[in-house]
Amino acid sequence: MKLGIIGTGPVGTSLARTFSAGGHDVEVANSRGPETVEAAVLEFGAQAVTAENAVQGKDVIILSVPFTRIPDVAVLFASVPAEAVVIDTSNYFPHLSGRVQAVEDGQVESLWVAEQLGRPVAKAWNAALAGTLQTRGVPAGTPGRIALPVAADSDEERRVAMRLVDESGFEPFDAGVLADSWRQQPMTPAYCTELSLRDLEKALAAADRSAAPRDRDRQMQRFAALTSAPTLEATVELNRSLHR
């Protein structure tokens, strides 16, 4: 497929490397221009382009920018055809990038994203740490494969996003429509806890919508109190510990 990736942070970089290594035609852009895209992003054949070019003529566009920056890139999608699948990977962390009142008032994050872009989106890869995406993807059929939720209102968009999650090394789980994607927001039981397919289904079902924002803020306080950056394993364990 022809893939465009907007954002070269850890998640965007990991996906650009994975999909270009897998044979997809990948173009990647950031807010600073193609000359600033690091060589590691392009190692397996991805091409650095402008943000405008990254969304043109693509089968899939992966949006991997900070949540509150999404309105800044909405103009890019005005001319993107309806059949292009847009996948959002972002999460709302108000202490990092500012408050969004609609989300504070209860709007589901992915519905807010779709509203800003003026078009449907799929939600995928938001419930995995960058380190998980970088190091823990394995082929389909591998025992203990980590599962990730995928939500979209369109069955076809969900199918495409699930295929790409599978190709990125993780077991895709059909998490239903965007209105239910709050179940994979921070810090629900499914969020960044590296679960198997069976356990992910249980975690999504166990999510408490009213508790998630409180757990998110409490967890951020716990991380802020650490004297050094936790390992991937320690981060996953801290996330799991919220729900015991």
Closest CA to 6 of 72, 102, 91, 96: 72
Query: Whole-model pTM?
Result: 0.96
Q: What is the pLDDT of residue 244?
A: 87
First-last CA distance in the chain: 41
Work out the widest C-alpha separation in the chain, in whole angstroms: 48
What are the distances in angstroms from CA 61 to CA 87, 111, 162, 208, 242? 6, 17, 14, 31, 33
Give pLDDT tens digits for 67-78: 999 999 999 999
Of the pLDDT bands very low, low, confident and very high (cuts 50, 70, 90), residue 150 is: very high
> 């600033």: which residue's tokens?
36
Q: What is the mean pLDDT of residues 161-180?
A: 98
Q: What is the mean pLDDT of residues 12-17?
A: 98
Of the pLDDT bands very low, low, confident and very high (cuts 50, 70, 90), residue 96 is: confident
Which tokens in the block code for residue 71? 């309105």
Question: Cβ atoms within 10 A of the Cβ of 37, count?
Answer: 21
Q: What is the mean pLDDT of residues 24-35?
A: 96
